[in-house]
Amino acid sequence: MHNDAPNPGFGTFRLEGDTLTKSIHAALEAGYRHIDTAQFYDNEAGVGKAIASSSVPREEIFLTTKVWFDKLEPAALKASVDESLEKLGTDYVDLLLIHWPSPDDAVPMADYLTALKEVKQAGKARHIGVSNFTIAQLDEAVDILGAGEIFTNQIEVHPFLQNRRLVQHCEKLGIKVTAFMPLAVGKVLDEPALQRIADAHGASPAQVTLAWIHQLGYLTIPSSTKARNIQSNIDAFKLTLSESEMAQIAELDRHERIANPDFAPQWDDQPLGG
């Protein structure tokens, strides 16, 4: 059993069918032991089959899934987790997240977080956490669940959206940061500053970005369908960047948010009314 999430994890958003199976097998062969999926990705059954058909036993894998925001009413949440477990072919997940806070608080947070904790108490999730929660929402969540209960807040972090205020708040609360979209859907590959640092290390801009995230102490879940990139993403954690290189990457923050649906909360890095 993992008390900590293996890092990096392997993200499966937008992967399906044969591509999903091959990618998960390549990730497990490369040494990944953390697989991240979600109800919304509509690929839990494929993820479950890929894990079952791999050479790595289920108990050696840290498996994360997430409850979508239309399933936050307590009874619906619990039923949706049972459905996720059935699709994944397992009787527990290692980490169960609320994917997005309830839009406009349509379902009170106390209702859905209490239900989430009850799922954990029933043995269906080893750890629970949240995703896309703001500073104010994290404070409310800790008030509801108590300190030490929220394993992580999975948020968008990459060189162009460094989300520092929220990150610092997570750290203050003892909540791990999991960086999703770490490569800014490939935009890091075109950034000259990252390319210069990469050249100095005989690495790629993607590897430099992942090394930066690793050195900041965050978990991350890069996604790739190419075996070569799946391998180079995990190898990135062997890189060590200098303080000066870390400082150069810190300068790239431009609050460029990619995952910003119309039901998103009022982000902490947005000016009010922005």
Catalytic site residues? 41
Among candidates 235, 154, 253, 237, which has minimal Cα distance to 194? 253
* Host H or E run for residue 133: none
- Give the count of beta carbons closer than 10 Å to the beta carbon of residue 257: 17
Among candidates 122, 126, 5, which has minimal Cα distance to 61? 5
Quote the CA–CA distance of 182 and 185 in Å, as a whole number: 8
Quote the CA–CA distance of 14 and 181 in Å, as a whole number: 12
Distances in Å between the Cα of 258 and the Cα atoms of 158, 180, 246 are 10, 11, 22
DSSP for residue 147: T
